[in-house]
Every structure is written in C-alpha cells, then in structure tokens.
C-alpha cells in the first residue's frame, strides 16, 4: 500500500498510456480544502481536514496532520495519534528530506 500511495501519480500516467498526468487529483484536493476553509470561515463547526501547517507535531517546522478550522483559520493542530512501528520508522526516514524541502520553500518564499 505504501508503494501505491507514493507512486500513485505514476500509476495514473501509465493507465492513461502517457496521454496525461495525475493533476486532477491535486486539483480535487485543492478544491476540497478550499471548500473546507469557506465552510469554517462561514462559522460551521467541526471542519477538520488534513493540512500542511506550522506545528510542533514533529521536529519539522511544518507537517501535515488533521486540523480544526474556524473563522480565523487553524484553531487546533491535532497530533499523529498512535503509530505502528512501521509508521514510526517511515516517519524517521522522511523527516530529513521533509526538513530539506521546508528549508528550500522558506528560502524561495523569502526572495
């Protein structure tokens, strides 16, 4: 399952025989998150999408977890919950790469 999640975009391109990309999935995720934001800004309670936000959930400055949204934005950043040993190992493996990407993003955004 991990491999299929990591390479799902490649699977879509192969299924389309090279005649397209998996950008529709990204567009849908963006539209779904924007809808969540609008619902929360309108005062709806219990809007809890996953979002890549500033947090202290891990040692990375930003991380994607479930958040509770409200009229002013993210009201609560939820933790990771209980992880299996496999998930803990994968988290340790990904953090250095994630932190490098965050650093690049911050540097790019400051220019």
Q: Which of 43, 7, 49, 10 is nearest to 31 (CA)?
A: 49
Write the burial class of residue 49 (CB in 10 Å: 0-12 exposed, 13-18 middle, 19+ buried).
Answer: middle
pTM: 0.78
48: containing domain: 2-109
**pLDDT by residue, tens only, the chain of 111 residues:** 888 877 877 887 888 887 777 777 788 999 999 999 999 999 999 999 999 999 999 999 999 999 999 999 999 999 999 999 999 999 999 999 999 999 999 999 999
Question: In the sheet where 73-77 sits, what is the strand order?
Answer: 50-54, 62-70, 73-77
When divided into structural domains, the chain yields a total of: 1
d(CA 23, CA 34): 16
DSSP 57: S
d(CA 109, CA 103): 10
Here the CATH number for the domain that contains residue 15 is 3.90.110.10
């Amino acid at each position: 399952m991990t491999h299929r999640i990591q390479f799902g975009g490649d699977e879509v391109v192969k299924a389309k025989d090279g005649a397209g990309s998996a950008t529709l999935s990204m567009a849908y995720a963006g539209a779904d998150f924007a809808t969540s934001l609008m619902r929360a800004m309108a005062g709806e309670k219990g809007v809890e999408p996953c979002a890549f936000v500033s947090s202290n959930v891990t040692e990375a400055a930003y991380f994607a977890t479930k958040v509770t949204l409200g009229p002013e934005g993210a009201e609560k950043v939820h933790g990771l919950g209980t992880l299996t040993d496999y998930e803990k190992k994968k988290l340790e493996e990904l953090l250095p790469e994630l932190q490098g990407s965050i650093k690049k993003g911050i540097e790019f955004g400051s220019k």
